[in-house]
Amino acid sequence: MKTNRREFLSSIAIATAFYTIPGAFAEQLTTTPALTLGPFYPDHLPLDTDNDLLIINNSITPAVGTITQLSGRVLGPSGSPIRNAVVEIWQVDNNGAYIHSRSQNAAGRDKNFQGFGRFETDSTGEYRFRTIQPVAYPGRTPHIHFLVKSPGRQEFSTQCFIEGAPGNATDGVLRDVRDPRQRAMVVVPFAPISGSKVGEVAARFDVVY
């Protein structure tokens, strides 16, 4: 049967349009595993909630701990950046205390550590924080909590872990991440920054959801 030329050309046009649709055959990224918010999201937010957790307001006394430059991107499963997402982080101070009324070792909390911060992603989905390298406390390996809030999407919580931390193998939350690809998403290097005179480290942690 002879194919109608008009139908043939029309089918080519449709196929061409499909192949040029952005992301039509884009490889889906491994998604970040959703992990528990935990019981220590601040019950009273600090007055200072910016992305520098080392200095509170105009204080001249920084928090104690290994200075950490923490950055990454918030992305959709296709790799498209999510802009204007609010990224919140919170963690224990160098003494293992959260800024929470029921935190263990609350009496020993470092009053110069902000403990919680927020940052809104830019057009590339990028966020950044200055904080301290998290430390272990009874029952948990070192980690940083993340909560991402984006218009039109459900809130998403996860946690960032230090590659090579001794407690990773026995941490109850991390142990539940069975997929090795997803585990690699949440366990990242905290690498020394070359040339830093104060021993800073840097970590990249992308959130894909």
- Output the pTM of the full model: 0.87
* 15, part of any domain: no
* 114, part of any domain: yes
Count of domains in the chain?
A: 1
What are 26's two structure tokens? 């884009």
The CA distances from residue 26 to 6, 23, 148, 165, in Å, are: 30, 4, 24, 34
Measure CA of the first residue to CA of the last residue in the chain; give whole Å: 49
Secondary structure (3-state) at 144: strand
The boundaries of the domain holding residue 35 are: 28-208
Nearest to 104 by CA among 30, 10, 40: 40
* 20, part of any domain: no
* 7, part of any domain: no
CATH classification of the domain holding 97: 2.60.130.10
* 76, part of any domain: yes
pLDDT tens, per residue, the chain with 209 residues: 444 444 433 444 444 443 334 444 457 999 999 999 999 999 999 999 999 999 999 899 999 999 999 999 999 999 999 999 999 999 999 999 999 999 999 999 999 999 999 999 999 999 999 999 999 999 999 999 999 999 999 999 999 999 999 999 999 999 999 999 999 999 999 999 999 999 999 999 999 99
- State whether the Cα torsion 79-81-87-93 is positive or negative: positive
